[in-house]
Amino acid sequence: MAKRNTGKKKKQRKSKEVRQKLQSKKLSRNYKIALVAIAAFALIYSLVFIIGPSAYGDDPTYLSLAYGAATGNFIESSYIFSVRLFMIFPIALFYKFFGVNLFTDSMWDILCFVGSVVASFYIGRELYDEKVGLLAAFLLSIFPLTAILAPTVSDNIPMMFMTTMAMLSILYAQRRSSKFWYFAAGIFMIASPLVTPEGFIIIPIAILYLLVELFRKKISINRTSLYLIYGIFTIGIALMAFNYINSGHPLITYTANSNYFSAIGVIKNGAYVTIGSANQNLGFYPQWMLPYNILQITASNISRFNFNPISIWDQIYVTNFNMAGFFFYALILAALYLILRKEKRAYFVLFWFLAGFLYLEFGPMHFSLIPFEYLLTHRLPRFLTLIAVPTVIIIAMALVRWAEASKKQLCILASKGASKINLRTIPYSAMIAALIIVFLTITSLQINFTQYEAMSLSRYDTFTISNYLNTLPNTTVIYYPAAYTQMFSNIGIYMHFDNLSRLRGLDNIQNCTYIPENSYVVLTKYAKIGSLNYTPDPLNQCPGWETVLYPNASQNYSSAITGYAYPFRAVLYYVKSNQSG
């Protein structure tokens, strides 16, 4: 009887401990309010500075495919963009229910940005505590790399969200031995490359991490962990079923990507065929991540006996329209601090960052053994969104850990009866940590606002002209240089995809006489377009034309922004007569 009561008491104590742990996992009211405030800031910021399709990247392509999906005119094919389903269909849903506008253009990116901010909180909280989670969420909301892209249609923000959710799911699955989270991890691992092929990188990162943990006996292969495979299998079957129904080819996602990237490695005329504007310089990412020559500039000023900190700062801090700010400088210091302190709670995000960076830096775009070819993957700054979340968590963890270390030191002094504890013994590390946060905030917001102005200016002419064209009859014929630059590719989007047949390509028309009367023509002001003989001074070549709209926004922007984002200018002409001079 006594043994039975003892066993009952043990069970009660155990259940009480479980309840206490669950209660400790619940967010307090203050932390909930803080997290909601940070998420609201990220959302409001994105909506205030909304851009829609930027003048850079693949934004117009995604929006055109999404509009096709929303109107029932979408079929997957060998076209590489057509298999990026988790970019196309979320935008298509917004188009379907809310129409085509700047908000529906960018809403998928904005929601993924806010979702990543929230997810970074939960990862930081799981690894350390709520303070680290909140600081990481805030830092991600102002990180230029993410904040600049969020109001656009960049595929890298949804990729960041999917890869972050994959790693959050793995963390929860491992720590809680949860079937649900293992299953979710499998789903997100396959969902990531369905946003953009670069999302594939999370698969080897996740598998390598799980293998390391398996070797360390932190996880085991059992009925619970097998749900990872079930998740991968489930989304794989669903994807193949959709592919077959849509295109008749269940493996088209694989074949389209494989054929595209395999073709890149082909040697033609003694050189690799690669992606336009691709950069394979191994110094690209380090130079981009650390954009300010701090040591060189400082040493140069010291050698000239210039010790004026304001003068030195002016030389160092030039925004240069970069998207890194000082975050990666802070990352290096934070990572070194955590490693030296042997902070085991940071190993998860340190591994995530390092594995992601090494793959971006050294991973192959094309690889073959016979003949041996190893073509490094192309490099773009926006690909670093893959490691944006571990970056901010590492910084947040180091700052909180450092501030807490000084607080513990004060407690030790107090316990020993130290009589000199006063304002002078206030932990300086905590004040320095606060100053670092303020510094990162101020410098990042300046970069973010500068980039926003540049992106706004780059679209100003075509956006203004498109709004004017929207007021004309739907039958109006409009000519524009469709293949010249992405400067003009947004016109159809700004016109809400309404009767795109009225938009005609100007690229192969060599003479004004071939353009019908009562048509409108959009051209650049300061650049000749290919071999078109009536640019850049069309009114001399085409006296039957008249200028309708000449947008001019340059007076509202600095010369630096104008030179960076406003190189061509656009003008709208009306064709009264099609006779050339």
pLDDT one-digit tens code per residue, 2-28: 555 555 555 555 444 444 454 455 778
Share of the chain above pLDDT 70, in %: 87
Residues 522 and 387 in one domain: no
In a domain, 1, yes or no: no
Question: Which residues lie closer than 8 Å to 493 by C-beta, 6 or more apart?
Answer: 52, 53, 60, 63, 64, 100, 105
In a domain, 536, yes or no: yes
Residues 123 and 272 in one domain: yes
CATH number at residue 554: 3.40.190
Residues 513 and 563 in one domain: yes
For the stretch 28-65, pLDDT in tens is: 888 999 999 999 999 999 999 999 998 666 888 999 99
- pTM of the complete model: 0.89
Supply the range of the domain harboring residue 537: 454-575
- Predicted pLDDT at 170: 96
In a domain, 448, yes or no: no
For the stretch 170-222, pLDDT in tens is: 999 999 999 999 999 999 999 999 999 989 999 999 999 999 999 988 888 99
Residues 501 and 552 in one domain: yes
Residues 109 and 175 in one domain: yes
Q: Residue 480: is its pLDDT beyond 80?
A: yes
Residues 548 and 414 in one domain: no
Compare 120 and 405 and report the one with higher pLDDT: 120
Residues 405 and 534 in one domain: no
Q: Residue 232: is its pLDDT beyond 80?
A: yes
For the stretch 550-570, pLDDT in tens is: 988 766 777 778 777 777 788
Count of CB atoms within 10 A of residue 340's CB?
Answer: 8
In a domain, 6, yes or no: no
Q: Give the end of a domain, one of 418, 441, 466.
A: 418
In a domain, 168, yes or no: yes
- Predicted pLDDT at 406: 66
Q: Residue 422: is its pLDDT beyond 60?
A: no
Residues 346 and 465 in one domain: no
In a domain, 64, yes or no: yes
Residues 241 and 375 in one domain: yes
Residues 69 and 197 in one domain: yes
DSSP-derived secondary structure for 78-128: SSGGGG-HHHHHHHHHHHHHH-SSHHHHHHHHHHHHHHHHHHHHHHHHHHT
**Separation of alpha carbons 409 and 429, rounded Å:** 11
Residues 390 and 497 in one domain: no
- Predicted pLDDT at 50: 94
Q: Residue 423: is its pLDDT beyond 70?
A: no
Q: Give the end of a domain, one of 418, 442, 472.
A: 418
Compare 547 and 538 and report the one with higher pLDDT: 547
Q: Give the end of a domain, one of 418, 435, 462.
A: 418
Residues 269 and 412 in one domain: yes
Say which range, 43-52, 241-250, 374-383, 469-478, has the weakest mean pLDDT.
Answer: 374-383
Residue 221 exposed, middle or buried by CB count within 10 Å (0-12, 13-18, 19+):
exposed
Confidence of residue 270 (pLDDT cuts 50, 70, 90): low
**Number of domains into which the chain is organized:** 2
**Separation of alpha carbons 295 and 549, rounded Å:** 49
In a domain, 432, yes or no: no
In a domain, 444, yes or no: no
